[in-house]
Structure 1
Amino acid sequence: MPSVLEMYQGLSKVPRGQQLFSLAFARKAPYFATIKPRFIDLRPNYAELVIPKRRAVHNHLGTVHAIALCNGLEAAMGALAEVTIPRDKRWIPKGMEVTYTAKATTDIRCIAETDQEQWDSEDPDLPVRVKGVRQDGTVVIEGVIRLWVTPKPARDQ
């Protein structure tokens, strides 16, 4: 089975490949499908996707709902973790801290970032920086998703 990064890189070379990758990724964790994420960049320590602004993710104000934004940030973080984590480690999310900074009135780019030193550290607490950005460049949500990164048991390596 190809890794998430190999799948993304391979599909990115074909027409509509990023769309196919996005569908496959959302199928792996079905709740992600509710926001219809479109991955636009994925590499170690960086993931970026777009949440389309559509009625299904609106709140009572007609903007992208806060939980849809968090879902997008978590999808970006999960993809980043899968393509970055060393083969001998495993991860699980343990918390999210976000601040809503502006109305999400357009499609939203969800970005997750880390530094390689974080993954190489023995410290199991790994904060992933996340943010959501409107089309005009305004940050609408930002924060940290904390991961717990530990060695895989020998049987899983």
Structure 2
Amino acid sequence: MSALLTLWKKTSGLPAGKKIFSTIYSQKAPYFGSIHATVTEMRPNYAELHLPKRRSVQNHIGTIHAIALCNGAEMAMGALAEATCPSDKRWLPKSMSIAYTAKSDGPFVTVTAETDPEQWEKDGDLDVRVKAVTEAGVTCFEGVIKLWVSSKKK
């Protein structure tokens, strides 16, 4: 089990544990801290976080900025990959293809990342499905983050 998943299991059930975990996780890639997201679920093949609408992530029309949504998708994908990648393999983000489908209105969006277990069985490209949904249930962002998964050298 990865160190990040172990940390999740130790902290997520504590009072304010998900926020504590998210703050620690944000140190792994400091730009994650800029969006003030809270990981709400982390398990193999799935991760979810809440990204609050704050002044620091708003665009000129008062919705969550597209790049803040991308940072949220990267954060969710990273949690999923750390919880899922077999110990004899490694992963590296390769590309991102995103469609912005609606305004990100509301006090927060929920960002999810998902894979299927069989995707991790072979080396090569692996598509992680990502999306962001407003509190009202409107999908405002969806796409794929492509990972390169390879066996660790022995």
Q: Shorter-chain TM-score: which interval? A: over 0.9
- Name the structure 1 match of 2:137: 137
The offset of 1:129, in angstroms, is 0.3
Structure 1 residue 14: deviation in Å?
1.1
SS of corresponding position for 2:142: strand
Equivalents in 2 of 1:108, 1:14: separation in Å? 23
Count residues with an aligned counterpart: 153
Q: Write the distance in 2 (CA, Å) between the matches of 1:30 and 1:53.
A: 19
| Structure 1 counterpart of 2:28 | 28
Match of 1:119 in 2: 120
Identical amino acids, percent of aligned pairs? 53
Instruction: Find the counterpart in structure 2 of residue 91 from structure 1.
Output: 91
| Residue number in structure 2 paired with 1:79 | 79
Distance 1:54 1:70 in 2: 16
- Give the CA deviation at 1:121: 2.4
Partner AA of 2:33 in structure 1:
A
Structure 2 unpaired stretches of 5+: none
Any idea what SS the aligned residue of 1:9 has? helix
Deviation at 1:4, TM superposition (A): 1.0
Matched AA of 2:46: Y
Q: More deviation in 6-15 or 140-149?
A: 6-15
TM-score by length of 1: 0.95
2:57 maps to 57
What are the residue-to-residue correspondences of 1:12-23 with 2, within 5 Å?
12-23=12-23
* Whole-angstrom distance in 2 between the partners of 1:108 and 1:27: 22
Q: Who is 1:108 aligned against?
A: 109
Q: CA deviation at 1:13?
A: 2.0
Mapped to 2, the partners of 1:36 and 1:89 lie a distance apart of 30
* In structure 2, distance between residues paired with 1:149 and 1:121: 8
Matching residue's letter, 1:47: A
Distance 1:89 1:78 in 2: 15
1:5-46 CA distance string (max 9 Å, x none): 111011012111111000000011100000011010000000
- TM-score, length-scaled by structure 2: 0.97
Unaligned runs of 5+ in 1: none
Question: What is residue 151 of structure 1 aligned with on the other side?
Answer: 151
Separation (CA, whole Å) in 1 of partners of 2:31 and 2:13: 27
Distance between the aligned counterparts of 1:23 and 1:38, measured in 2? 8
Output the CA distance in 2 between the equivalents of 1:14 and 1:142: 31
User: What is the rounded CA distance, in whole Å, between the counterparts of 1:63 and 1:55 in structure 2?
Assistant: 9
SS at match of 1:28: coil
